[in-house]
Structure 1
Amino acid sequence: MYLSRAIPSKAFVLSRLAQQAHAGNVYSQHQLLWQLFPDQSARDFLFRYEQGKAGVCYYLLSQTEPEPGLEGIEVVTKPFRPQITPGDRLAYTLRANPTRMLKSDTPGKRGNRVDVLMHAKYQAPDNESQADMRTIQQQAAQDWLMESDRQQRLGIEFVSTPEVTEHRQHQVYKTYRNNSRTKPIQFTSVNYQGVLQVVHPDRFLEQLAQGIGRAKAMGCGLMMIRRYT
């Protein structure tokens, strides 16, 4: 795998496509970054958009090395081969899209997939204050990530309850070459941080490469890790 940082120039950020990405159109960011992998017919990378004091950048985790020839974007890449053993503790950050499949009341019929945070909001009493609603949604986001089946599938155990640092509602459109647009795509992104302990290193690295949760084309799923000291 390869871990990359793509840094748009100031001039590029002012361009039309980058303006869309900067304004939060996460699908346009996906289209932009795919240009770094011109030989791919199917996406094999995860990405995350970040904006800090130094400006805009994208983090990417990919199976193939991105090509650095996209004008206006500097790409810094290094091989990503972490040496992890059972019991290692890692600090992590994650942007994920928590969803869950609800059971159908009709036998043999598939249930509906729901946005975990919005479902928690709809299930809450109407008279909840905004502060209480934030707490309810934050708890729902934490419960989703800490599900025992998920931890087992990831090959990890969370050392402590994940901290939710931000959650946002998004509404985006896919735009085609003829400038037609799809119906709006709505989803929630949640930023987590905390400490985990690795139980099954191979399983963890495999899941890390695949990404966690859904909406990967919208900038979700990439977990960043570092040694915890």
Structure 2
Amino acid sequence: MYLSRLTLDRKPDVAALGPLLEPAHEGRRMDAHHRLIWSAFAGDPAASRDFLWRDMGRSQFMVLSPRPPAASALFESPEVKPFAPELSPGDRLAFVLRANATRARKGAGRVDVVMDALKAVPRPERAARRMEIAQKAGADWLAGQGARAGFRVLDCHVGAYDVRDLPGQGRRRPRFGVLDLEGVLEITDAQAFLARLRQGFGRAKAFGCGLMLIRRA
């Protein structure tokens, strides 16, 4: 695996595309970035997405992939390093994760954990309690992920929760929630953790969710 930093080129011809590459509308920006990252992995038109990415702001992106990104006229030369952390049970890692967190709901398929939890709150109270609900729902969801993916959550803070609308027609526009989580975890099964780390967490991975960035705590 490779962990890469991609930075939009500052050449005038790329800067002229700014409104297309960095739209003001958050949902449109996620869609534009999704297409933009593909340009660095577009060698095989029939290939499926095999990378995870995250918008780091200031026209920079982190990407985890099984192959290094190719040179692209839209990006500066990519900063690439091999990603092969040596982990053991008991190791503690600080993490940041942007995730579309969902769970199965009988009769409804998969539902966003925060939106689902908010339904139990009286409508007039929802705005005031939104982050309180997001904190509990997000932390509970990540704990469940850890139980299946070889880690235990020691601390989890939800820094933001937003609902994004992707481009579409009328009421059929795709819509999903995005949680920004950070904290500290402890490894219980290094092999299971690394396998999940490569796959990503949650859904909407094509749109910049699912990549967990880690460092030694």
The TM-score normalised by the length of structure 2 is 0.89
Do structure 1's residue 189 and structure 2's residue 184 form an aligned pair? no
Q: Measured at CA, do residues 14 and 93 of structure 1 come closer, stay the same or move farther in structure 2, by a change above 3 Å?
A: farther
Which SS does the other structure have where 1:196 is aligned? Answer: strand
Q: How far apart are the structure 2 equivalents of 1:128 and 1:225?
A: 35
Amino acid at match of 2:41: F
Q: Residue 55 of structure 2 is aligned with which of 32, 43, 49?
A: 49
- Per-residue CA distance 1:82-111 (angstroms, 9 max, x = gap): 11111111100000001111124xxxxxx4
Counting matched residue pairs gives 209
Match of 1:177 in 2: none
Do structure 1's residue 78 and structure 2's residue 81 form an aligned pair? yes
Assess if the C-alpha contact under 8 Å between 1:2 and 1:64 holds in 2. yes
Which SS does the other structure have where 1:167 is aligned? Answer: strand
Match of 1:159 in 2: 154
Do structure 1's residue 92 and structure 2's residue 98 form an aligned pair? no
* Runs of 5+ consecutive residues of structure 1 not aligned to the other structure: 105-110, 175-179
Which SS does the other structure have where 2:116 is aligned? Answer: helix
- Per-residue CA distance 1:62-95 (angstroms, 9 max, x = gap): 0111112x11312111111111111111100000
Post-superposition offset of 1:32: 1.1
Post-superposition offset of 1:143: 1.5
Post-superposition offset of 1:38: 2.0
Amino acid at match of 1:94: L
Query: 1:58-137 to 2 correspondence within 5 Å?
Result: 58-68=61-71, 70-74=72-76, 75-104=78-107, 111-128=108-125, 130-137=127-134
Detail structure 1 runs of 4+ shifted over 4 Å in the superposition: none
Assess if the C-alpha contact under 8 Å between 2:134 and 2:158 holds in 1. no
Post-superposition offset of 1:168: 1.1
Do structure 1's residue 18 and structure 2's residue 24 form an aligned pair? no
